[in-house]
Copies of this chain bind each other. A is one copy, B any other.
Amino acid sequence: MLVNQTDIYALRAMTFLALQGADALVSSKDLAEKTRIPSHYLSKIMRRLVEAELVVSQKGHGGGFQIVRPLEEITIEGILDAMGDKHELEKCAFGWEKCGGEHPCPLHPAWSELKSSFVGWASSTNLSKLRNAHIQQRFLSSLGGGDLPE
């Protein structure tokens, strides 16, 4: 819940695409190898991302997946929404049908806090941010030498 394995795969794939630079076209096979996501499972995930219009797909020879929108526009929230488990956060943790307003369940205040901090994080983190942070980090660590893992 909140973030499952499939969600993480989606985040990985999108992040990887974003790191390949503007409009890079990457095949599912390549993506799967580089991100270590089971290839057939990845293709299911990619379809959802295509439907949500976060990526564009190119069928046939030389095809693949591509981000065509500005990276700033693609947030973690958007990716999670595309994977379709938003409703999880909306259910009352105490199992009440009606919870909130005048009659919040005992867990309601705490749950709301969690929810808003989670949504805050997810909505403020976009692919551009991830990319910049990572590129900067690679630059800094290249100054110190050392090998890149994996």
Known A98-B149, A107-B130, A114-B118; further 10 A-B contacts with Cβ < 8 A? A1-B1, A12-B95, A15-B106, A99-B149, A102-B141, A103-B148, A106-B130, A110-B121, A110-B129, A118-B118
Q: Which residues of B contact A1 (CB under 8 A)?
A: 1-5
B150 with A15: CB separation less than 8 A: no
- How many copies of the shown chain assemble into the complex? 2
**A-B residue pairs in contact (CB < 8 Å), sample of 20:** A1-B1, A1-B3, A2-B3, A15-B106, A35-B94, A35-B95, A76-B110, A96-B150, A97-B150, A98-B150, A99-B149, A102-B141, A103-B148, A104-B137, A106-B134, A109-B137, A110-B130, A110-B133, A113-B125, A118-B118
Indicate if A22 sits at the interface (CB-CB under 8 A).
Answer: no
How far apart sit A117 and B76, CA to CA, in the bound complex (Å)?
16
Q: Which residues of B contact A12 (CB under 8 A)?
A: 93-95, 107
Q: How large is the interface on A (under 10, 10 to 19, 20 to 34, 35 or more residues)?
A: 35 or more
How far apart sit A109 and B36, CA to CA, in the bound complex (Å)?
20
Q: Which residues of B contact A130 (CB under 8 A)?
A: 106-107, 109-110
A97-150 with Cβ < 8 A to chain B: 97-99, 102-104, 106-107, 109-110, 113-114, 117-118, 121, 125, 129-131, 133-134, 137, 141, 144, 146, 148-150
